[in-house]
A and B are shown apart, each in its own frame.
Chain A
Amino acid sequence: MSPLHICLLFSSALFCIGLVGALARSNTILVLLGIELMLNAANINFIAFWRYGPNHADGTGIIFVLFSIAVAAAEAAVGLALVIAIYRHRQTIRLQEANTLKG
């Protein structure tokens, strides 16, 4: 079992944990946490493929991940702000109840 396989199995596990968290929980913050986990699983994949790939001298994986983290941070900030706004508005953060945008 090569180190790459181990990394991939790890990231898959992390992704599944995140997915289950996002699907199963009804608290919006926890759903966001799950999504962050899935995102990080993808980041691990980037790092792994870079580190064990053919040309790891040019640092492309690191750059991708740094971007991704920055974007995720921004997304989390916006997401949390939305959650707070929803809470203020409706006194709840249950995801099932935030369904005003249905068709």
Chain B
Amino acid sequence: MNSLPLLSLLVFAPWAGALVLALLPRLSPSASRGLALGTSLSTLLFGLIACSDFNPAATAYQFVEVHNWIRALGVHYYLGLDGMSLLLVLLTGLVAPAALLASWRLERDVRLFNLLFLLLQGAALGVFLALDFFHWFIFWELSLVPAFFLIKLWGGPGAPRAAYQFVIYTLAGSAFMLAAFAAIYGATGSLSFPQLAHAAAGGELAAALGPWWIKIVFVGVFLGLAVKVPLFPFHTWLPSAYAEAPTGASMFLTGIMSKMGVYGFFRLLWPLFPAQLHAASGVLLWLALAGVVLGAFAAMAQTDLKRMIAYSSINHVSYCLLALFAVAGGGSELARDSAATSAALTSAKEAALSGALLQMFNHGLSASALFFCAGILASRNNGNRGLADYGGVRTSAPLFAGLCGLAMFSSIGLPGLNGFVGEFLIFRGVFGLVPYAAAVACLGLFATAYFLLTFWQKVFHGPVAGGGKNFADLDGLELATLLPGIVLMFLLGLAPQLLAGLINPLVTTWAAK
């Protein structure tokens, strides 16, 4: 294979950019913007290189880099990539530059903002590519620091409080996870994910930890991940953090950071604790359903645009977890056993898992686009983001209305746009495994359509009023930020094979487990 350490480049290129920014204190704002955007785009470039060399048929990790790091502890520097990581790396490569473009007009401490942003991007990539808990956790925690400052320093009036809440909450979750992994390390002496997953599959992990400890450890890891996603009822930090963060940071938080949690569920919790997840799936399924339904309905009652989109984010990422929990539960409630129906169960699992992975990508695109649109609205109206502050924006800004509408319909899950494929597959899979869950989740679909159309009607339609007066249409920069995402929404809606081809073999092996 390729001798170039592609994955290291991928992870450390943004950090290198951040270092350059840190070392050049006198850099002009425009130069630092350009530098940051360039380094941020490197992720997309390396991601596409990885994509072209990627062999979708192989389900093992590819481009693996393993080096001894701390011999005494048996810690390795271990990077690797599979279809799921690749998907998220590509998503990062799309969302992060868009978020930087969205922050292009920021005037205050431009260099510091870009520096922190690149740090955040690098940390997120590290989370998606690291395969050893030691540096995985470092990346995981390091992502908090720049996020905290991005929210606190550039956010809205309630930002300091929201930032503290966000960090304290996430740190508390991470502490449980760290303790859990300390226990795992104590019992097995290994921190490498593939090794641990192998041990878990063979039952050695459970044997090493003992029947009680493994449950406690499971809960610890679960808490750390559930806060990050967030899974109901650990989501209370999210609306204010997303709402108060500056536009670019909101885009990254919803597009990438929420995926870090979901990724953790797929990479850590499920492979390491399949039996525990299976046992807990009944309860967890209801939590995910609560996220789907209550998230959507709570969004309906919001009057602040960004809070509304934040709640819809809870709703959308809960679909991913719903699918995972349904698969982990394995359709046990149906108590089917004949060969024909077990094939049906497998195909339902395949659908649910593919749907969840596609949904991660699609939600990243559509939610960050929606946050950007909310940011545009707020930026043209002195930062007001109330639903009632606008009216008839479509009259004065038809282009903006059209593109925002596309992002909205993608979020609703309109067929022909990207959101539909993921949601349809999730529903198809969940229906095959746990029919009642699919029925309850339908309520979420309905409510999503309801509140997004209400938003659209109030802000864009009707007579011109409030912030809709003299509303300038998109300029070149804003168009450049929004358009790639919109084009992808169409493309992936019509040809989902582009993504499905990358993950399908992986998903097939997962479903066969």
Q: Do the two chains touch directly in the complex (Cβ atoms below 8 Å apart)?
A: no
Give the interface of B toward A (CB within 8 A): none
Give the interface of A toward B (CB within 8 A): none
